[in-house]
């Protein structure tokens, strides 16, 4: 039997804090499938989230993200809930380091950046701290003998960011929340799309790439996958 717990108030506040788009109206519902959701001491928790703009619309994505770039993921660190900059516990997020291969939108101060991205596996204790007033509701899902060691928190349909891969990334930042040269990769599976070069010997030729559609799991041609401004940026003076 499916059980549903509501942690909307807590998650709404945290998401806005992390993503830093306060004009958006987030509606979040955490869904739980009792015993089958607990595997290898890890509880798999999926949630739904809506934006005020259409994430599947490439023009909306372009307009609502201040920073866009082709990035290479150098390092993915363990997920966490504690945010040192603001001294608070927030939704599980994954930090890491990346190299800017091609700046598309926004003024990146360096080609080496740090990033944050919602979702990840954290300890049960850390996850409980992030829920604040809703911690008791969540803990009631488990008996004393089946409390999980870890919580895998991820938006339904989202992907995991992988070290060593290259992506088209849509990002936001706020100086009150982010450290210097740090960005949040936004828009879940729509804001992080793997880049595949048709010819691996021509990594600087951005007119020769395809972009992964995470919804169908297939790669698309550049002109059908991105906004016209991105297309122009990638195909004009591509080797510069």
Q: What are the residue ranges of helices labelled H in the chain?
A: 8-19, 58-64, 124-131, 135-139, 188-191, 222-225, 228-235
User: What is the pTM (predicted TM-score) of this model?
Assistant: 0.83
Residue 133: phi and psi, rounded to 5, are -70, -15
Question: Given this model, what pLDDT does residue 32 score?
Answer: 41
Q: Give the pLDDT confidence of 181-231 residue by residue, as tens digits.
A: 999 999 999 999 999 987 764 556 676 789 999 999 999 988 888 899 988
- Rounded Cα distance, 13 and 152, in Å: 20
- Rounded Cα distance, 38 and 223, in Å: 42
Question: Given this model, what pLDDT does residue 238 score?
Answer: 52
Check: CB of residue 91 under 8 Å from CB of residue 81. yes
Check: CB of residue 126 under 8 Å from CB of residue 95. no
List the single range of 63-77, 95-109, 142-156, 176-190 with lowest mean pLDDT: 142-156
Q: What is the mean pLDDT of the chain?
A: 81
């Amino acid at each position: 039997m499916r059980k549903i717990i509501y942690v909307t108030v807590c998650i709404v506040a945290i998401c806005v804090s992390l993503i830093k788009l306060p004009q958006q109206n987030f509606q979040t519902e955490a869904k739980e499938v009792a015993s089958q959701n607990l595997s290898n001491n890890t509880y798999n928790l999926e949630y739904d989230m809506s934006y005020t703009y259409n994430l599947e619309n490439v023009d909306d994505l372009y307009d609502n993200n201040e920073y866009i770039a082709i990035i290479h993921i150098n390092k993915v660190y363990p997920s966490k809930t504690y945010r040192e900059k603001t001294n608070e516990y927030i939704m599980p997020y994954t930090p890491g380091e990346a190299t800017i291969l091609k700046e598309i939108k926004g003024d990146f101060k360096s080609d080496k950046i740090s990033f944050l991205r919602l979702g990840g596996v954290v300890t049960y204790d850390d996850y409980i701290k992030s829920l604040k007033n809703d911690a008791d509701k969540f803990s009631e899902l488990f008996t004393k003998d089946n409390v999980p060691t870890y919580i895998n928190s991820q938006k339904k349909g989202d992907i995991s960011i992988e070290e060593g891969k290259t992506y088209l990334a849509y990002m936001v930042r706020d100086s009150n929340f982010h450290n210097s040269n740090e960005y949040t990769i936004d828009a879940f599976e729509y804001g992080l799309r793997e880049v595949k070069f048709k010819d691996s010997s021509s990594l600087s030729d951005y007119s020769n790439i395809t972009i992964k559609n995470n919804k169908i799991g297939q790669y698309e041609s550049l002109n059908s996958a991105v906004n016209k401004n991105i297309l122009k940026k990638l195909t004009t003076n591509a080797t510069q």
